[in-house]
Amino acid sequence: MNSNTKDLTNLLEEYFSKVQPKIQPKVQPNKQLNIFKSIGKTASYIYTIDLSGVYYFAFARKVPFNTRKRYIDPHKKTASLNTGAAKTDKKYCGKWTSFGGSANKHIHALKAAIQEINEEGCLINPFIANNVNIKWENKTIDPQKLNLMSANSYNNVGIFLFYLKDYERFFNMFPKLKDGGRRGPQIVQSSHGEIDAVCSLNYKEILDYQNFDKTMFIHYACESFNKVIKPNLPDAFQQRWNSKDLSIYEDDKPRTPFELKVKPYEYVEYEKTKYK
C-alpha cells in the first residue's frame, strides 16, 4: 500500500469515527425483465464473495472532465468539445457507477448487458452471453461461470445482478480500489471514450466513500442499488446490511477524483477512437 492510500485510509477512519452514514428508505424493485427481448438501457452489477465472506462489487468510473485530449480531424481542423466521458452529461464525469448505458437494440437484453460489461471493463477474457448461468432456470450456482442472479425492469432500465464465485478471477478483472484498481487509456478506448477506470469495493467501503465524498457514486447507481440490487442479494448480506442503504445526493457538477488521479488531458486520442 502506497503513502497516498495510507493517508486516504487514515482520513476515512478519522471521519467515520465521528459521522454515521445517512440511511435512505427502501423500495422494492419493479418487475422481472424478459432478458431475451431487447431493451433501451442496461445497468449491470457484479459481485463476488471472498474467503472471509465479504461481498465485493465491481464499478466503473466515468472519464473525468478535461482528461480526454480529442483528435483533430485534419479536414475539419477542430477537435470535439467533449473532454469528459463520451455521450455523458458533464455532471456525471469522474463518478463511479454500474456497467451499462444505452443498449444495442438489435440484440437481446442479456447479450447487450454482457457486451457493455466487456467493453467498459476492457476485459481480456470477456464474458460470453451464451455461457451465463441463469440462476432461476438452472436452480444452482455454477462455480466456473458468470451467474445471473436477477434481472429487473426499473425506470425502463434493465437492472442485472451477476455473481462470479471465482473471486480470484473477479479481482483480476476488477482489482480492489485500495490495491490500485485498474485505470488507463486502454479502458477509455475499449469503452468508446466513456470509462477510464474499474475497481471493486466491499459494501462498507461503498457506504463510507459515498458519505465522505457525497458524489463519488452517481445518484441513479445508488438508487438502483438500494431499490433493486439489495433486495436480490443473499440472506447473509441482508442480515448484515439490510438497514444501511446508500445515501443519495443529486448530481449537479462533474467530480474531480481524489482516488486513481488523472492528469489534465492525460488520455490522448491520437486517431479517431484510438487512445494512448
- With a pLDDT cut of 70, the percent of the chain lying above it is 88
Query: What pLDDT does residue 79 have?
Result: 63
Average pLDDT, stretch 26-40? 76
pLDDT digits (tens, 9 = 90+) for 61-115: 999 999 999 998 777 766 668 999 999 999 999 999 999 999 988 999 999 999 9
CB contact at 8 A, 43 and 158:
yes
pLDDT band at residue 29 using 50, 70 and 90 as cut-offs: very low
Query: What pLDDT does residue 199 have?
Result: 98
d(Cα 97, Cα 100) in Å, to the nearest integer? 9
The chain-wide mean pLDDT, for the chain, equals 90
pLDDT band at residue 28 using 50, 70 and 90 as cut-offs: very low
Query: What pLDDT does residue 9 have?
Result: 55
Task: Please name the fold of domain 32-270.
Answer: Nucleoside Triphosphate Pyrophosphohydrolase (3.90.79)
Give, rounded to a whole angstrom, the gap between the first and last alpha carbons of the chain.
Answer: 27
Domain residue spans in the chain? 32-270
Query: What pLDDT does residue 275 have?
Result: 97
Average pLDDT, stretch 159-186? 98
pLDDT digits (tens, 9 = 90+) for 190-214: 999 999 999 999 999 999 999 999 9
Average pLDDT, stretch 43-59? 98
Query: What pLDDT does residue 142 have?
Result: 97
Strands (E), the chain: 31-32, 41-49, 55-62, 68-69, 96-97, 99-102, 133-134, 146-154, 157-164, 182-183, 195-202, 267-271, 274-275
Given the C-alpha cell 477509455, which residue does it identify?
188
Lowest mean pLDDT among 24-28, 72-76, 151-155: 24-28
Those residues with Cβ within 8 angstroms of residue 82's Cβ, 6 or more apart along the chain or in another chain: 68, 70
Query: What pLDDT does residue 72 have?
Result: 86
For residue 257, pLDDT over 60 is answered with yes
Beta pairing, strands 133-134 & 146-154:
parallel
d(Cα 164, Cα 150) in Å, to the nearest integer? 13
